Amino acid sequence: MSMKLERYYLVRRDHREFIGPMLIDEFKLRLERMDFGLQDELSGHCGPWVVLDHKDDVTKHYPDVASALGESLSLSWREATGHARVISRQDSRRDRKKSKPAKQAHAESRNGFNDFLNEQKKKSRRMQFAAVGIVLIALAAAYWMLSRKDEVPIAAEYSALIGKPDPSDFLNAMGMKVIPYPQKYLKTAKHQSQWLPLFRMYAFYTTGSIEGVSQKLLKGDQPASAPIDCSVETWKQKWRENASQLAPFIQGKALNKNQWTKILSLDPNWVRRRPAKGWVKPRNFFEGCLLTASVAIRSISGDPQFGVDSKDVMTEDLVSLVARRLQHQLEVLANGRTVSSMDRSSMLGQMTCLESAASLQDLDSCRSASEFALRPLMDEKYALALVRIATLQQQGNVDPRIVAQIPGSLIKISGEDLMSRIDITPEYRLLGYLTNGGSIEQALNKVDQEYSDVKFR
Amino acid sequence: MRIRMAGATDIGRKRKANQDSIFYDEAQGLGVVADGIGGRRGGEVASSIAVNSMKRVFQSSDTIRHGEVNSFLVRAVDELNQDILTRGQLETEIAGMGTTMNCLVFVGDRLHLAHVGDSRTYMYYAGHIFQLTIDHNVGTFAAKGWLNPDQVQPGAKDEALVKALGLGPNCEADIYEVALKPGQLFITCSDGLSGMIADNEIASIVRKNYSKFDAIPQLLIAAANAAGGRDNITVLLSEVR
């Protein structure tokens, strides 16, 4: 007779502590008990580590766990699309009454409690009420003690600050000069979902970092192609280290793919369309990176607001060009349009011109300024500019002269941005739909259905 | 909790020297495995410094109370790193040497594990095997999206290390904690084992020979040699009883 090997699972909590190995029933109980959360990782025998919130990975490698999560957590996990969603542990508590594992988990303790009550019944009904009352008071006291011990202010109290991103107000509201133990606010998925947007706001409107909070956590589930570290200090270092390569890139003579060229060539309209979950202001990691990159370059440029660093090696002209490019990107993010203008003789200037264009005439004037060796990059910018111009209107038909430009542009681009490797498939699809009659409303409806996370209107 | 340990190291079938080092002491609850890199002599020296310095730092520490072990490990790794760099500066012929290291410290009902490089620690339990450590190499980091392609030198192999002791003034180890329970078996090894035989084969050998605990390191080494033995092979077993 062959024995079936029971499957054990191991959980890695906070990237540093292992819990287990445990069988699936214990896994469910401990998840209910919040010994770990969906942000933690799981592995099985000879298997890869997968983040519990990554539904597809869990389903692919550990179907037992996937069904257990679907059963005992919530609909939200089942509905979640991959890593886009962070589920709070509140969901698991909300569904506890329904879930079988929770019933099993508490069966033993309930039985003991019921026995106690039966004994009391025999004596008197009055005694029974008294016992229940004592237990309830004890539970309330225990809960109060525990909540005091690990007190975390409710982030909702500070949510009013989100509309006006001022880190000093945030800190004042917290009654602190600094955040002394940020980990305290990020212990569980629920705390993270409440606090990370505020922490991100604080970080990216100051230094791009918070001591004790990893860049990985601040970045969150943003594309792998996004920069790894967007602190101001890292930006300063990158601007200085790459000063010699900056001029050839700005002039469109050399394609140098790295963090700073990616951020400089990033289309702010693309960033604007992608508000991410867990982010409020900035709306996503890319906007955060633009903010900190701008602070870093202004500090190098000797802006008295930020001070001057004697180790600077970048020339003032280059610094000024980069600063103006970043200013344009941030203005588009803030207002949907730019008020800055740049000399179109540089490639950065031409990119800025294309991203600001509001008509076909504007586009033509941008392209006629200069021709650059990095032609494919500019072709892509031209295609993305067509998207922007087309979506300036929300109904009716797009100017046929613009629609006529689309087929020629589509064959020159793909679903991935040439420089930043970001996903531009929704933009690509929108252009494709426009070629079929030119109705912007129909095209937007179709893209909205396919990519609900991308906001074209 | 009682910890039982057994270990062995072997030159393999292709290398002319053994650059791996191992130390373990059941009574102290300390086990260290290091795999040196950087030329024939450099690798030997680096791994030897890692093991001996860790032993020295551990033994000279008055008490490693529970709760202080992780900070002790962080300090110790930094000290080891400086030792290797300093030795490299004194002897130019071995400058640039480095080493991986996995250090296991058992305190109370917990294991504290410091990990740098691509040596591995597995947990074996009830026929199951789990890789606890993450390989600090180009292939793993790139797959996880922790390295941008433009940060990788052209032609770099997947197995090229991105972290090791002695490679620079700062070396940050991964520090892990495991709650111990009887029946757990930790298998710490250099890539001479994990690079030659698959994880399920390691689990299979351990499962079939569980009653012959002291013989398991040699059996694993023999399996790696049978598979080609391309590198030095070191195995340390730590069983929780």
> Would you state the pLDDT for residue A321?
84
User: Is pLDDT larger for residue B162 or for residue B1?
Assistant: B162
**ipTM score for this prediction:** 0.89
Residues of A in contact with B145 (CB under 8 A): 224
Domain definitions of chain A by residue range: 8-94, 100-149, 221-450
Contact assignment for B146 to A228 by CB distance below 8 Å: yes
pLDDT band at B62 (very low <50, low <70, confident <90, very high): low
Residue with tokens 């797009």: A398
pLDDT of residue A372: 64
- Of B69 and A116, more confident: B69
pLDDT, tens digit (0-9, with 9 covering 90-100), for B89-144: 888 778 888 999 999 999 888 899 999 999 999 999 988 999 999 999 888 888 87
pLDDT digits (tens, 9 = 90+) for B8-26: 999 999 888 899 999 999 9
Please tell me the predicted confidence (pLDDT) of residue A368: 62
Partner A contacted by B193 (CB < 8 A):
no
- At B41, the pLDDT band (50, 70, 90 cuts) reads confident
Write down the pLDDT at residue B156: 74
State what percent of residues in chain B have pLDDT above 70.
96
Q: Which CATH superfamily is domain B3-240 in?
A: PPM-type phosphatase domain (3.60.40.10)
Residue B147 has pLDDT above 70, yes or no: yes
Could you say which of A6, A45, A258 has the minimum Cβ distance to residue B150? Answer: A258
CA distance linking residue B54 with residue B72, whole number of Å = 11
Q: Give the pLDDT band (50/70/90) at residue B193.
A: very high
Strands B110-116 and B98-107: antiparallel
- The pLDDT tens digits of the residues spanning A329-364 come to 999 998 887 766 777 778 888 889 888 888 888 888
Judge if the upstream peptide bond of residue A182 is cis by omega within 30 degrees of 0. no
Q: How confident is the model at residue B3 (pLDDT cuts 50, 70, 90)?
A: very high
Average pLDDT, chain B: 88
Contact B128 A44 (CB under 8 A): yes
**Is B145 in Cβ contact with A21 (below 8 Å)?**
no
**Nearest CA to CA, how far is A12 from chain B (Å)?**
9
Whole-number pLDDT of residue A371: 64
* Spans of chain A, pLDDT less than 50: 1-3, 75-76, 78-117, 148-150, 304-313
pLDDT the model gives residue A316: 65
HSE-up (13 A, CA, CB side) for residue A46: 10
A43–chain B nearest CA distance, Å = 7
